Amino acid sequence: MELEEGHTVKVRLSSSQLVLVGAGIVLTSAAIGEHLFRRVVERRYRDAVASRQQLEQRYAEALATHEQLQEAVAAERRRSDALEQALAERRAELEDTIGRLTEEAQTIRELQMRLAAMQSRMDQLQGELALALQPAAAGAASAEGGAVQLERIIVGDAQTAGQQGRVVSVYPQWKFVIVDFGWDAVRIGDTVSIFRDEQLVAKARVERVQEGVSAATILSDWEPMEIRVNDVARLL
């Protein structure tokens, strides 16, 4: 290499030096490329780690939500089981109540039938008692020398007025009367209407009939104290 004042410096390199320079350039480029590749790989790794963390967080949240839903489903199942058990108990109670009501209704029907039979028997006994007392009452009136004063009986047309008679005895304590309708006029079960001054006083059902008189039980809608001896009795 020659240096002269005022002249350009000229460098002459040998082939070995050129090789070394080329190798250095290659190595430098390789180092730079490796550094850049490493930075890319590190960035991708960080992104992958961040994505994994996000996925793990989402998985944890989904798992917590799933567990909450499982707990809610279990609670609803327990609640449903409790409701089904309570419903079964109420159904059993209802069936038991219906059974008892059915038995009580049957008992009530039986008691009503027995009561009706007893009432019929009582009416029959009252009629027999009335007919048995009637001769005694008539004998007592004759012994006292008194006579039963009869009201005037107006006999109308048989087709319009019906059969008419009078009340001969009243027994308010037993709620029956004796009327002078015999076998030829009434039958057991007939209804007799009792009037005073053309005003309806009471109605009675015939329970016993003899030759010249019959005993009738006063119906529950009427007061026996309102009936008097000699009131008009009509078979309508």
Contacts of 55 (CB under 8 A, 6+ apart): none
What is the pLDDT, as a whole number, of residue 13? Answer: 55
| Whether 207 and 129 share a structural domain | no
The domain total for the chain is 2
Mark whether 68 and 176 lie in a shared domain: no
In a domain, 78, yes or no: yes
Domain edge (last residue) among 83, 114, 145: 145
Of 120, 145, 170, which closes a domain?
145
Residue 107 identity (one-letter amino acid): T
Same domain (yes/no): 134, 165: no
What pLDDT does residue 152 have?
A: 36
**CA–CA gap between residue 77 and residue 93 (Å, rounded):** 24
CB 217 within 8 A of CB 207: yes
d(CA 123, CA 206): 9
Length of the chain: 236
Same domain, 189 and 213: yes
**Do residues 131 and 166 both lie within one domain?**
no
Range of the domain at 118: 19-145
Boundary (domain end) residue, out of 80, 113, 145: 145
Classify residue 14: in a domain, yes or no: no
Q: What is the pLDDT of residue 153?
A: 34
Same domain for 116 and 210? no
| pLDDT at position 143 | 43
Task: Say if residues 60 and 68 touch (Cβ distance below 8 Å).
Answer: no
The tokens of 3 are what? 């240096």
Task: Give, for all 236 residues of the chain, the pLDDT tens digit.
Answer: 444 445 454 555 567 777 777 777 877 877 787 888 888 888 888 888 888 888 888 888 888 888 888 888 888 888 888 888 888 888 888 777 777 767 777 778 777 777 776 766 666 666 666 666 555 444 444 444 443 333 333 333 333 345 899 999 998 888 889 999 988 899 999 999 999 999 999 999 999 898 889 999 999 888 877 899 999 999 87
Residue found by looking up tokens 């590190």 in the block: 42
* Structure-token match 């038995």, residue found: 103
Strand 214-218 versus strand 232-235 pairing type: unpaired
pTM above 0.85, yes or no: no
Q: What is the structure's pLDDT at 223?
A: 83
